Amino acid sequence: MYSIGIIGGTGYTGKKLIQYLATHPFITEFQVYAKTTAGENLHDIFPDLDGLVDNLQIRSIEDISLEHDLYFIALPPGKALQYIPKLIGNGKFVVDLGGDYRLDFEEFYMQWYKFTHTSPGLLKDKIYGLADHPSTNYDNVKLIANPGCYPTAVLLSILPLLPDFADKIVSVSCVAYSGTSGAGKSVRTDLLLSEMYGNVKAYNVNNHRHEPEILQQLYKNGFHSPFSFTPHLLPISRGIYVTISIHLSEEIEKKDIDKVYNIIYQKSPFVRLRNNSPELKWIVDSNFCDINISIKEKILIITSTIDNLVKGGAGQAIQNMNRLFGWDETSGLLERELKYVSV
Q: Say which of 7, 18, 74, 149 is annotated catalytic.
A: 149
Task: Give the strands of the sheet with 299-306, arranged side by side.
Answer: 201-202, 227-233, 169-178, 240-248, 299-306, 289-296, 271-274
DSSP, res 327: S
149 noted as active-site residue: yes
- For 146-197, the DSSP string reads PPPHHHHHHHHHHGGGHHHHGGGEEEEEEEEEE-GGGG-S---GGGSHHHHT
Q: Which residues contact 23 (CB under 8 A, 6 or more apart)?
A: 332, 335, 336
- Asked if residue 46 lies in contact with residue 18, where contact means CB atoms within 8 angstroms, the answer is yes
* Extended strands (E) in 43-92: 59-60, 70-73
Gap between the Cα atoms of 123 and 117, Å rounded: 10
Q: Are strands 201-202 and 127-128 parallel, antiparallel or unpaired?
A: unpaired
Q: Which residues contact 239 (CB under 8 A, 6 or more apart)?
A: 177, 178, 179, 280, 283, 284, 305, 306, 307, 308
Q: Which of 237, 231, 240 is nearest to 306 (CA)?
A: 240
Gap between the Cα atoms of 223 and 129, Å rounded: 19
Query: Any idea which residues carry the catalytic annotation?
Result: 149
